[in-house]
């Protein structure tokens, strides 16, 4: 009879330990605010980096974003494309991909542009390039990428 009590007590102890072990993760997941308030149901968080000026690279980044929106659905994935260095050309107001950029923006994709790069271009050329009016200006593109990765975004450089 003593062994039956010991076994029952051990099972109770094991169950209690499991509850205390699992409970913090369950509570934390429910209490954690979404990474992006405008995408509260997103389960995937992607940051696409563009630091190349080539049209083929621009097209690839835009294509990746479009394919993922189609695969997951616009409510289930949060995508931001961050440009710096020569990649800022993607967000020039006269970019040949303007129609695709506008379509992706309409589906919730954000486009950020490094103002450090834009200021350098303006200083070196004497002219500040016109940017897409809905682009998000960030002070330093690489720092922005690091901050977003720190918040939980996955970084991809196609």
Task: Mention every residue, 6+ apart, whose C-beta is less than 8 A from residue 24.
Answer: none
Helices and strands (H and E) in the chain: how many:
5, 5
Tell me the per-residue pLDDT of 24-80, one tens digit each, with 9 for 90 and over: 544 444 455 667 878 888 999 999 999 999 999 999 999 999 999 999 999 999 999
pLDDT at 33: 60
Using alpha carbons, select from 58, 56, 158, 54 the residue that is nearest to residue 111. 58
Q: Based on the structure, what is the number of domains in the chain?
A: 2
In a domain, 3, yes or no: yes
Range of the domain at 6: 1-32
Q: What is the pTM of this model?
A: 0.78
Q: Is residue 79 part of a domain?
A: yes
Measured from the Cβ of residue 89, the count of other Cβ atoms closer than 10 Å reads 20
Q: What is the pLDDT of residue 90?
A: 98
Using one digit for the tens of pLDDT, what is the confidence trace for 88-134?
A: 999 999 999 999 999 999 999 999 999 999 999 999 999 999 999 99
Are both 120 and 89 inside the same structural domain?
A: yes
């Amino acid at each position: 009879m003593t062994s039956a009590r010991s076994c029952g007590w051990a099972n109770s102890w094991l169950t209690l330990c499991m509850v205390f072990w699992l409970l913090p993760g369950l509570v934390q997941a429910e209490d954690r605010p979404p990474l992006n308030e405008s995408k509260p149901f997103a389960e995937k968080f992607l940051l696409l980096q563009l630091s190349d000026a080539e049209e083929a690279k621009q097209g690839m980044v835009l294509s990746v974003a479009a394919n993922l929106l189609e695969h997951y659905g616009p409510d289930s994935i949060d995508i931001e494309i961050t440009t710096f260095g020569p990649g800022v050309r993607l967000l020039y107001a006269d970019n040949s991909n303007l129609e695709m950029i506008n379509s992706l923006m309409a589906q919730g994709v954000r486009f950020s542009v490094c103002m450090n790069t834009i200021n350098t271009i303006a200083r070196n050329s004497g002219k500040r390039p016109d940017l897409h009016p809905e682009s998000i200006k960030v002070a330093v593109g690489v720092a922005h990428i690091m901050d977003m990765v720190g918040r939980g975004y996955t970084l991809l450089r196609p």
